[in-house]
A and B are shown apart, each in its own frame.
Chain A
Amino acid sequence: AQSVSQHNHHVILSEAASLELGCNYSYGGTVNLFWYVQYPGQHLQLLLKYFSGDPLVKGIKGFEAEFIKSKFSFNLRKPSVQWSDTAEYFCAVNARAGNMLTFGGGTRLMVKP
Protein backbone atom coordinates (compact mmCIF):
# COMPACT_ATOMS: atom_id res chain seq x y z
CA ALA A 1 0.00 0.00 0.00
CA GLN A 2 1.14 3.51 -0.68
CA SER A 3 1.50 6.17 1.99
CA VAL A 4 2.45 9.82 1.99
CA SER A 5 3.97 11.86 4.77
CA GLN A 6 4.32 15.60 5.07
CA HIS A 7 6.75 16.53 7.77
CA ASN A 8 5.65 20.06 8.51
CA HIS A 9 2.16 20.38 9.92
CA HIS A 10 2.28 24.12 10.43
CA VAL A 11 4.61 26.65 8.85
CA ILE A 12 4.65 30.36 9.54
CA LEU A 13 6.66 32.64 7.29
CA SER A 14 6.99 36.32 6.63
CA GLU A 15 6.31 37.68 3.17
CA ALA A 16 9.23 37.29 0.75
CA ALA A 17 10.65 34.36 2.69
CA SER A 18 11.46 31.19 0.79
CA LEU A 19 9.31 28.12 1.22
CA GLU A 20 10.05 24.43 1.11
CA LEU A 21 7.47 21.86 2.16
CA GLY A 22 8.57 18.29 2.48
CA CYS A 23 6.75 15.30 1.05
CA ASN A 24 7.86 11.70 1.13
CA TYR A 25 6.00 8.69 -0.12
CA SER A 26 6.36 4.98 0.20
CA TYR A 27 5.57 2.86 -2.80
CA GLY A 28 7.84 0.60 -4.78
CA GLY A 29 6.34 1.12 -8.19
CA THR A 30 5.90 3.97 -10.63
CA VAL A 31 3.91 6.89 -9.33
CA ASN A 32 2.27 10.13 -10.34
CA LEU A 33 2.82 12.93 -7.86
CA PHE A 34 0.71 15.97 -7.09
CA TRP A 35 0.58 19.04 -4.92
CA TYR A 36 -2.83 20.49 -4.17
CA VAL A 37 -3.65 23.72 -2.38
CA GLN A 38 -6.78 24.52 -0.39
CA TYR A 39 -7.29 28.20 0.30
CA PRO A 40 -9.50 29.09 3.26
CA GLY A 41 -13.11 28.30 2.44
CA GLN A 42 -12.30 26.99 -1.01
CA HIS A 43 -11.94 23.60 -2.62
CA LEU A 44 -8.81 21.75 -3.55
CA GLN A 45 -6.92 23.09 -6.54
CA LEU A 46 -4.07 21.45 -8.38
CA LEU A 47 -0.77 23.34 -8.01
CA LEU A 48 1.40 21.04 -10.04
CA LYS A 49 1.90 17.44 -11.03
CA TYR A 50 4.63 15.08 -12.07
CA PHE A 51 4.02 12.13 -14.37
CA SER A 52 7.34 11.65 -16.13
CA GLY A 53 10.22 13.54 -17.72
CA ASP A 54 12.00 16.48 -16.12
CA PRO A 55 11.90 15.89 -12.36
CA LEU A 56 11.73 19.62 -11.71
CA VAL A 57 8.13 20.60 -12.24
CA LYS A 58 6.83 24.14 -12.40
CA GLY A 59 3.28 24.89 -11.40
CA ILE A 60 1.00 27.83 -11.01
CA LYS A 61 1.66 30.92 -8.89
CA GLY A 62 5.43 30.49 -8.90
CA PHE A 63 5.49 27.09 -7.20
CA GLU A 64 7.78 24.30 -8.24
CA ALA A 65 8.52 20.81 -6.99
CA GLU A 66 11.37 18.40 -7.49
CA PHE A 67 10.93 14.66 -7.73
CA ILE A 68 13.92 12.84 -6.29
CA LYS A 69 13.29 9.19 -6.97
CA SER A 70 16.13 7.91 -4.82
CA LYS A 71 14.71 9.74 -1.82
CA PHE A 72 11.04 9.04 -2.60
CA SER A 73 10.50 12.77 -2.21
CA PHE A 74 8.54 15.47 -3.97
CA ASN A 75 9.20 18.68 -2.08
CA LEU A 76 7.34 21.86 -2.90
CA ARG A 77 9.21 25.15 -3.16
CA LYS A 78 8.59 28.81 -3.76
CA PRO A 79 11.41 31.38 -3.69
CA SER A 80 9.34 34.22 -2.25
CA VAL A 81 5.96 33.71 -0.60
CA GLN A 82 3.13 36.19 -0.49
CA TRP A 83 0.38 36.73 2.04
CA SER A 84 -2.04 35.25 -0.49
CA ASP A 85 -0.20 31.92 -0.30
CA THR A 86 -1.73 31.35 3.13
CA ALA A 87 -3.49 28.02 2.67
CA GLU A 88 -3.24 24.33 3.34
CA TYR A 89 -1.03 22.31 1.03
CA PHE A 90 -1.48 18.61 0.33
CA CYS A 91 0.93 16.27 -1.33
CA ALA A 92 -0.68 13.29 -3.06
CA VAL A 93 0.52 10.16 -4.79
CA ASN A 94 -1.19 7.94 -7.29
CA ALA A 95 0.29 4.59 -8.16
CA ARG A 96 0.50 4.46 -11.93
CA ALA A 97 -1.15 1.07 -11.98
CA GLY A 98 -4.09 2.02 -9.82
CA ASN A 99 -6.90 4.43 -9.22
CA MET A 100 -6.32 5.60 -5.71
CA LEU A 101 -4.93 9.00 -4.83
CA THR A 102 -3.34 8.96 -1.40
CA PHE A 103 -2.97 12.26 0.42
CA GLY A 104 -0.43 13.38 2.95
CA GLY A 105 -1.61 14.93 6.19
CA GLY A 106 -1.37 18.47 4.85
CA THR A 107 0.73 21.47 5.80
CA ARG A 108 -0.96 24.61 6.99
CA LEU A 109 1.01 27.64 5.79
CA MET A 110 0.51 31.06 7.24
CA VAL A 111 2.27 33.99 5.65
CA LYS A 112 2.49 37.11 7.77
CA PRO A 113 2.20 40.40 5.89
Chain B
Amino acid sequence: GAVVSQHPSRVICKSGTSVKIECRSLDFQATTMFWYRQFPKQSLMLMATSNEGSKATYEQGVEKDKFLINHASLTLSTLTVTSAHPEDSSFYICSARGDRGIGEQFFGPGTRLTVL
Protein backbone atom coordinates (compact mmCIF):
# COMPACT_ATOMS: atom_id res chain seq x y z
CA GLY B 1 0.00 0.00 0.00
CA ALA B 2 0.87 3.65 -0.13
CA VAL B 3 3.37 4.95 2.40
CA VAL B 4 3.22 8.22 4.27
CA SER B 5 6.06 9.38 6.47
CA GLN B 6 6.27 12.06 9.10
CA HIS B 7 9.25 13.84 10.52
CA PRO B 8 10.13 14.20 13.29
CA SER B 9 8.49 11.34 15.12
CA ARG B 10 8.95 13.05 18.44
CA VAL B 11 9.82 16.60 19.41
CA ILE B 12 10.22 18.36 22.73
CA CYS B 13 10.44 22.12 22.75
CA LYS B 14 10.25 25.09 25.07
CA SER B 15 7.16 27.19 25.32
CA GLY B 16 7.17 30.00 22.78
CA THR B 17 9.14 28.24 20.08
CA SER B 18 7.79 27.14 16.70
CA VAL B 19 7.86 23.57 15.53
CA LYS B 20 7.60 22.32 11.96
CA ILE B 21 6.29 18.83 11.19
CA GLU B 22 6.70 17.35 7.73
CA CYS B 23 4.39 14.88 6.05
CA ARG B 24 5.52 13.12 2.90
CA SER B 25 3.81 10.68 0.57
CA LEU B 26 6.63 8.40 -0.49
CA ASP B 27 5.28 6.46 -3.42
CA PHE B 28 2.30 8.37 -4.68
CA GLN B 29 1.21 11.91 -5.38
CA ALA B 30 -1.09 13.28 -2.74
CA THR B 31 -3.48 15.84 -4.09
CA THR B 32 -5.00 16.23 -0.67
CA MET B 33 -3.40 15.95 2.74
CA PHE B 34 -5.06 16.07 6.11
CA TRP B 35 -3.79 16.99 9.54
CA TYR B 36 -5.28 15.43 12.65
CA ARG B 37 -4.70 15.80 16.33
CA GLN B 38 -5.12 12.93 18.76
CA PHE B 39 -5.32 13.49 22.48
CA PRO B 40 -4.48 10.63 24.84
CA LYS B 41 -7.12 7.91 24.78
CA GLN B 42 -9.23 9.90 22.35
CA SER B 43 -10.06 9.70 18.70
CA LEU B 44 -8.55 11.67 15.86
CA MET B 45 -9.85 15.15 15.34
CA LEU B 46 -9.44 16.71 11.93
CA MET B 47 -7.62 20.03 12.10
CA ALA B 48 -7.34 21.00 8.47
CA THR B 49 -7.43 19.82 4.90
CA SER B 50 -4.88 21.02 2.40
CA ASN B 51 -4.85 20.73 -1.35
CA GLU B 52 -1.62 21.13 -3.24
CA GLY B 53 -1.04 24.70 -4.27
CA SER B 54 -3.94 26.23 -2.39
CA LYS B 55 -4.71 27.46 1.09
CA ALA B 56 -5.67 24.95 3.73
CA THR B 57 -9.24 24.64 4.97
CA TYR B 58 -9.36 24.67 8.74
CA GLU B 59 -11.97 23.03 10.91
CA GLN B 60 -13.99 25.13 13.30
CA GLY B 61 -12.05 26.01 16.40
CA VAL B 62 -8.61 25.51 14.87
CA GLU B 63 -6.53 28.68 14.78
CA LYS B 64 -5.07 29.05 11.32
CA ASP B 65 -2.49 31.57 12.49
CA LYS B 66 -1.24 29.14 15.09
CA PHE B 67 -1.22 26.03 12.97
CA LEU B 68 0.30 27.02 9.65
CA ILE B 69 -0.09 24.50 6.88
CA ASN B 70 1.80 24.51 3.63
CA HIS B 71 1.20 22.02 0.84
CA ALA B 72 3.78 23.17 -1.64
CA SER B 73 4.13 19.96 -3.64
CA LEU B 74 2.24 16.79 -4.38
CA THR B 75 4.39 14.84 -1.94
CA LEU B 76 4.95 17.24 0.93
CA SER B 77 2.81 19.09 3.43
CA THR B 78 4.10 20.84 6.52
CA LEU B 79 2.39 21.83 9.74
CA THR B 80 4.06 24.56 11.77
CA VAL B 81 2.91 25.04 15.34
CA THR B 82 3.79 28.66 16.03
CA SER B 83 4.62 29.93 19.50
CA ALA B 84 3.86 26.56 21.00
CA HIS B 85 2.44 26.29 24.50
CA PRO B 86 2.02 23.29 26.79
CA GLU B 87 -1.62 22.91 25.77
CA ASP B 88 -0.41 22.27 22.22
CA SER B 89 1.27 19.08 23.40
CA SER B 90 -0.40 16.30 21.49
CA PHE B 91 0.00 13.62 18.87
CA TYR B 92 -0.22 15.08 15.38
CA ILE B 93 -1.04 12.75 12.52
CA CYS B 94 -1.13 13.47 8.82
CA SER B 95 -2.80 11.52 6.09
CA ALA B 96 -2.67 11.72 2.34
CA ARG B 97 -5.03 10.89 -0.43
CA GLY B 98 -4.07 10.44 -4.04
CA ASP B 99 -6.10 10.70 -7.19
CA ARG B 100 -6.76 7.00 -7.46
CA GLY B 101 -7.96 6.35 -3.93
CA ILE B 102 -11.62 7.12 -3.71
CA GLY B 103 -11.96 8.50 -0.22
CA GLU B 104 -9.18 6.33 1.14
CA GLN B 105 -6.55 8.10 3.21
CA PHE B 106 -3.15 6.71 4.10
CA PHE B 107 -1.86 7.71 7.49
CA GLY B 108 1.56 8.71 8.67
CA PRO B 109 3.04 7.36 11.90
CA GLY B 110 2.37 10.56 13.80
CA THR B 111 4.50 13.12 15.62
CA ARG B 112 4.41 13.46 19.36
CA LEU B 113 4.89 17.06 20.38
CA THR B 114 5.70 17.92 23.97
CA VAL B 115 5.89 21.58 24.90
CA LEU B 116 7.60 22.30 28.20
Contacts and interface: CB of A to CB of B under 8 A. Distances in A.
Instruction: Answer yes or no: are A and B bound together in one complex.
Output: yes
Contacts of B41: 108
Contacts of B61: none
SS of A interface (majority): strand
Given A51-B102, A100-B49, A105 B42 contact: yes
Contacts of B109: 42-43
Interface in A40-68: 42-46, 49, 51
B102 A43 contact: no
Contact of B44 (A32, A42, A103): A103
B1 A44 contact: no
A4 to B, nearest CB: 9
A13 interface: no
A104 B107 contact: no
Interface string A77-108: 00000000000001000101001111111101
B104 A43 contact: no
Q: How large is the interface on A (under 10, 10 to 19, 20 to 34, 35 or more residues)?
A: 20 to 34
Contact of B32 (A44, A45, A99): A99
Interface in B17-59: 32, 34, 41-46, 49
B23 to A, nearest CB: 12
A104 B103 contact: no
In the A-B complex, the 8 residue pairs with the smallest Cβ-Cβ separation, listed nearest first, are A32-B103, A43-B109, A44-B107, A94-B103, A103-B43, A105-B43, A106-B43, A103-B44
Given A49-B103, A99-B32, 20 more contacts: A32-B104, A42-B109, A43-B93, A43-B108, A43-B109, A43-B110, A44-B107, A46-B104, A46-B106, A49-B104, A51-B103, A90-B44, A99-B49, A99-B97, A101-B95, A101-B103, A101-B105, A104-B43, A105-B42, A106-B42
Interface of B: 1, 32, 34, 41-46, 49, 93, 95, 97, 102-110
